[in-house]
Chains A and B, each alone.
Chain A
Amino acid sequence: MSGAPSAARQYRALVLKDLRLELRTRETLIAMVLFVVIAMVILQFGFGTRETDLTRFAGGLLWVPLAFAAVLGVGRSYVAEREQRVLDGLLVAPVSRFVLLLSRATAIVGYLLAVEIVAVPLLGVFFVKGPYWGDVGWIFLACLLADIGIGVLGTLVASMAVFTRARELVMPVVFLPLLVPVVIAAAGATHAVVGQNDMAQYRGYCLFLAGFAVLFGLVAYATFDAVFDD
Chain B
Amino acid sequence: MTEPAVGRRSGGRDAAVWAAAAAVLMFVAIIGGFFIAPEDREGEIQRLLYLHVPLAVMSLGAFLVACVAGILYLRRREDRYDEVVTVSIAIGLLFVVLTIISGSIWARGFWGTWWRWEDPRLVTYLIIALIYGAFFVLRSSTDESRRGRFSAVYSIVAFAAVPVSFYAVRAARDTVHPVALDSDGLQIDSGIFFWLLVSQVAVIVLFVALLKLELLQRRTDRDLRRLRVLLEDGA
Contacts and interface: CB of A to CB of B under 8 A. Distances in A.
A131 interface: no
A226 B149 contact: yes
B125 interface: no
A173 B152 CA distance: 18
Contact of A227 (B143, B150, B161, B164): B150
Contact of B164 (A169, A181, A229): A181
Interface stretch (B14-22, B126-134, B215-223): B126-134
Nearest to B145: A230
A188 interface: yes
Contacts of B102: none
A226 B137 contact: no
Interface stretch (B36-44, B82-90, B165-173, B206-214): B165-173
B221 to A, nearest CB: 23
Contacts of A229: 149
Binding site of A, secondary structure by majority: helix, strand, loop or mixed? helix
How many interface residues does chain A have, given as a range? 35 or more
Given A163-B146, A219-B156, A184 B168 contact: yes
B160 A185 contact: no
B74 interface: yes
Contact of A170 (B127, B138, B171): B138
A189 to B, nearest CB: 11
* Max chain B Cβ within 10 angstroms of own Cβ: one of A153, A161, A173, A223: A223
Nearest to B146: A163
Summarize B's interface: helix, strand, loop or mixed.
helix
Interface size class of B (residues with CB under 8 A): 20 to 34
Nearest to B153: A223
Given A164-B138, A174-B134, A156 B149 contact: no
Contacts of B154: 160, 174
A31 interface: no
A208 B138 contact: no
Contact of A173 (B137, B156, B165, B172): B137
B180 interface: no
Contacts of B164: 181, 212, 215
A204 interface: yes
Contact of B150 (A160, A184, A208, A222): A160
B24 interface: no
B31 interface: no
Contacts of B156: 219, 222-223
B74 A226 contact: yes
A179 B154 CA distance: 14
B130 to A, nearest CB: 4
A173 B133 CA distance: 9
A226 B160 contact: no
B141 interface: yes
B132 to A, nearest CB: 9
Residue of A153, A157, A180, A208 with most chain B CB atoms under a 10 A cut-off: A180
B142 interface: yes
B153 A165 contact: no
B153 A163 contact: no
A185 B161 contact: no
Nearest to B169: A184
Nearest to A187: B172
A48 B102 CA distance: 33
Nearest to B161: A178
A216 interface: yes
State the 3 A-B residue pairs at the shortest beta-carbon distance, nearest first: A181-B168, A177-B130, A164-B141
20 contacts: A153-B157, A157-B157, A163-B146, A163-B150, A164-B141, A164-B142, A170-B141, A174-B134, A174-B137, A174-B138, A174-B154, A177-B131, A177-B133, A178-B157, A180-B127, A185-B168, A188-B171, A219-B156, A219-B157, A230-B146
Interface of A: 153, 156-157, 160-161, 163-167, 169-170, 173-174, 176-178, 180-181, 184-185, 188, 204-205, 208, 212, 215-216, 219, 222-223, 226-227, 229-230
